[in-house]
Structure formats: C-alpha cells, structure tokens
Amino acid sequence: MGSAWRTRVGAVSAGVVLAGSLAACGDGSGGSGPPVLTWYTNPDAGGQAAIAERCTAAADGAYTIETSVLPRDAAAQREQLMRRLAGGDSSIDLMSLDPVFVPEAAEAGFLAPIPDDLQQSLTEGIAEGAVQGATWDGELVTAPFWANTQLLWYRESMARAAGLDPAEAQTWTWQQIIDAAASQDSAIGVQGTRAESMTVWVNALIESAGGEIIENPDAPVDEISLGIDSPAGEAAADVMQAITAADVAGPGIDNRDEAATADLFEQGGLMFAVNWPFVYAQAQQGAEQGTVDPAIFEDYAWTTYPRVNPEDPSAPPLGGINVGVGAFSEHQQEALAAMECIVSPENQALYMISDGNPAAALEVYDLPEVREAYPMADVIRESLQMAAPRPQTAYYNEVSTGIQYTWQPVSAVSDATPQISEQFVLEVLRGERLL
C-alpha cells in the first residue's frame, strides 16, 4: 500500500486535475507473487484479522488475505459495499455481509457464483436459518460464517421473587415478563433506538405471532405484498403498547441499542433483556475487573426468546455474518478457496471464543472449550434452530428503514401502527416516499 499512495502523491504534485492518469493506481495488488485478497470485514475485536492470518498461513503461498474494516453500523456497511460494487470494484475479493443484504447483492450480480460441490459442503451441519440467509433464488450465494441469535436474559432471583419458575422459562410470554417486571418495579431491556435492531425486534414479534413482514419476498418490487397490517402485526403492536402501558421500558429506550441494553442489565437496571450472547462474556469480564457487581453476574440467567402466543414457540431473531466473493474480483478461484478456509468449523469455534459471536456450524456447540466459555451453548443452538430470518428481499434497506421510521419511538406505537407502517413501506418501495 505504501508504494500505492506514494505513486498517488507523485501524481498529485505532477498535476492534480489530471484525473485519468491516476486510474492506474486504484489497485494495490498486482505484479508477481501470490495474489493478495482483500477481505472487507465488519468491525470486531480482531477475530477476522486473526482468521485472515491463519488462512494465509494455511494457503502456503497460494494467496494472502488482507482485511479492510467496514463501518460499525450494518446499514453503513451495506452502503460502502454496494457503492463500491456498483462501480465494478475489483479490489473486493471477499466480504463479510449481513444476511439481510445478501438478496440485494445477489440480485444485482455483485456476488461470484459458488460451485455446486462447494455449496454442498458449505451448508453441511449449518443452522437452517443461517443457510436460508445465505441463499438467494435457490442458490447458495454466500458462505454462512457466524449466526447470531437473541436470547432472553433475566435475573434469576428477581424472576423467582415475581413468582416465575425458571424451569418453565422457555414458555414465558412477553405479557408474563411485562407483568413480572412491573411487579418488581424493574424494566425489560429492548432495543428501541431507530436502527436495524428495531427491525430485528419487530420481525421477531411478527414471526413469533405466526406472521411475516413480506409474504412474497421474491416478487418484483411493485408486486410485493406485506404482512405488517395483519393479526400478527397487531400482536406485535400490542406487545409494545403493553410495555409502554406497564412503564417497564426502562430509561432511555428511544436511543437504546444492544450495547446500552447490556450496560443497563449489568448495572442492575433491568430484570429482563433480549440481547445477543456477547453480553455474557462482557459481564463476566466486568465482574472480574470489578466494574460489574459479581452478585448481579451470578444472578444472570438465560432462556430462549419470549413467546407472543402462550402456545406457540417463539421465533427468535437471527443475525450473523456471511462471507461472499466479489463478482469483480480478479482472483475468484483463490477467493473461493479462502472463503472455504475462513468459514471452517474450526475457525468458527475460535471466532466464537475470541469475539463472542456464535458459530453457524452446529457441531461447534459440542466442543468442550466452547461449552466452557458459553454455559448457554445448548440454548444458543436451540434458539438458532427456532430462529426466523428477517425478510429476504433485494429492497431490504427500504423495508427495514420504513419499519424503523414507523415503529420508533416505541411509546408512540398504537393500534394504527401496523396499518401506517404497511402503507409507508409500500409507498417507499414504489418510490413515492423519502426516507
């Protein structure tokens, strides 16, 4: 890279406005030696960079992988990738892609096809939801790498005090935990900020109530029909209204993201929280360093996502990251090989331990070191199998942003919200609305 920018600086001093002459400097790789693959990663605690090193070593000179970090926010990650790919950027060899943006990238032809035999091996032993999120139009277009799911975290002593039996935790409904939190004068941690986490919540509620946000995800944009204005949508709105009515939203719900929820739970401000498993490792570390009261950490308990209907199992949120190969990469063969290496169960296990992001490969949950780091490994695996992905559509950004605009702030959700939201998203999809 050093020489690349030096070339550029030279070019600048020669004459800034001579744009054309600089085009050649766009690509840092090239020349002789093994191809350098650039892997665009979402920010993490360094786990993906470590995997890149391991796979470079394992490739034994066939290729080297360099990482380049994308922005924190899921929507901003998409922005960066789509903008570059729309320009036919050949420097994107590998990318860490949120499953919700897979259809858009695949539909636009931004992802290199994966050979059939590789599709086969990449899906073996992988959680069903994660495979769905990596597939578009019947083809596996990305490799599942990690698969996140939200659990219901709760304070065991407080649940008992409220008369809830932890042995039946899996059957708890939103209404039950709302009542319990109200009875203990505590709160439920949900993510109420206007961000992707809002869509995550709305989708999980609608799916848990037996509905779905998009009824025909692969239809052309003007024929998409939505399931927000439905009994399931109304059930979702009911849950939010109940939270507001019982005053158990807790402080700062309108700007609370996953991190703020985790903090609040650690500080004892919440009795329940729906959140990703990273909260456990964080609280453990906090308890060791003295920033989290060990008594609170001891009290941490977990179960699967709360139900909407008492008799139907919930549909927990599904998250995660897939790895895709850029369609304009000049080293697609090497990139496919690198992708296979990156998502190996071994690397998934290491990543789960180092970065707290759960593996998509189910076998990982049987490994002793994973079970030691994650006492809730079985619950995570179960939740992954129950989980429902967010709508798979090439217009995901529009759908998700439209949902965030109409369901946030939570305190403003009313009986009319599902109808307003459906109308709004449809108008956005038809290009009749600003976002």
Partner 1 sequence: MGALSTKEKVLWYIGALLIVLYALVPVAWIVSLSLKSEADLSNRSFLPTNVTWENYGGIFSGTASDLFLPALRNSVITCLLATLIAVVLSMFAAYAIARLNFPGKRLILTSALAVAVFPVITMVTPLFNLWRQIGLYDTIPGLIIPYLALTLPISIWTMSAFFREIPWDMEQAAQVDGATSWQAFRKVIVPLAAPGVFTTAIIAFFIAWNDFVFGISLTSTSDAQPVPAALSSFTGSSYFVQPTGAISAAAVIVTIPVVLLALVFQRRIVAGLTNGAVKG
Partner 2 sequence: MTAVTTPQVEIANSPRSKRRRGTDRSRQEARLGWYLAGPAFVILVLVTGYPIVQAVYDSLFSYRLTAPDDREFIGLSNYGVILTDSLWWEALANTALITVVTVAVELVLGFALAMVMHKVLGFLRPILRTAILVPYAIITVVSAYAWQYAFSLTTGFMNAVVPGVPENFDWFANKWTALTVICLSEIWKTTPFISLLLLAGLAQVPEDMHEAAKVDGATARERLFRVTLPNMKASIMVALLFRALDAFRIFDNVYIMTNGAAGTQTVSSLAYNQTISRLEIGLGSAVSVLLFLCVLLICFLAIKVFRVDLARARGEN
Binding site for partner 1 (CB under 8 A): 1, 4-5, 8-9, 11-13, 16-17, 19-20, 22-26, 28, 42-46, 49, 68-73, 76, 80, 83-84, 86-87, 257-260, 262-263, 267, 276, 278, 281-282, 286, 289-291, 355-357
Question: Are 249 and 243 contacting, i.e. CB atoms less than 8 angstroms apart?
Answer: yes
45 interacts with, out of partner 2, partner 1, none, CB within 5 to 8 A per kind = partner 1
4's contact among partner 1, partner 2, none, with CB below 5 to 8 A by partner kind, is partner 1
Distance from chain centroid for Cα 45: 16
* Residue 68 contact partner, candidates partner 2, partner 1, none, CB within 5 to 8 A by sort of partner: partner 1
- The CB-of-193 to partner 2 minimum distance in angstroms stands at 7
Closest CA to 98 of 53, 140, 52, 145: 145
Measured from the CB atom, is 83 or 430 closer to partner 1? Answer: 83
Least CB distance from residue 258 to partner 1, whole Å? 4
For the CB of residue 149, give the shortest distance to partner 1 in the complex, in Å: 14
Q: What are phi and psi of 53, to 5 degrees?
A: -65, -45
Q: Which amino acid type is present at position 359?
A: A
Nearest to 366 by CA among 351, 348, 378, 354: 378
First CA to last CA across the chain, in angstroms? 38
Q: Residue 408, interface with partner 2 (CB under 8 A)? A: yes
Rounded to an integer, what distance in angstroms lies between the CA atom of residue 431 and that of residue 435?
10
- From the list partner 1, partner 2, none, pick the one residue 194 interacts with, judged by a Cβ distance below 5 to 8 Å according to partner type: partner 2
Residue 17 contacts partner 2 per CB under 8 A: yes
Applying CB under 8 A, does 82 fall inside the site for partner 2?
yes
Among 397, 406, 417, 421, the residue binding partner 2 under the rule CB under 8 A is: 397
Torsion of Cα atoms, 191 then 195 then 200 then 201, to 10° = 40
Please, what sign has the CA dihedral across residues 401, 405, 410, 413? negative
Name the CA dihedral angle for 141, 146, 151, 157, rounded to a multiple of 10 degrees. 180
Residue from 83, 120, 137, 385 touching partner 2 (CB under 8 A): that is 83
CA distances from 317 to 200, 306, 386 (A): 6, 11, 9
Strand ranges inside 236-299, DSSP E:
272-275
* Of 50, 194, 299, 346, the one binding partner 2 by CB under 8 A: 194
167 part of the interface to partner 2, by CB under 8 A: no
Alpha helix segments (H runs only) across 195-230: 196-208
Q: Is residue 108 within the footprint of partner 2 (CB under 8 A)?
A: yes
Applying CB under 8 A, the residues found at the interface with partner 2 are: 17, 75, 79, 82-83, 86, 104, 107-108, 110, 193-194, 251-255, 259-260, 263, 394, 397-398, 401, 408-409, 431-435
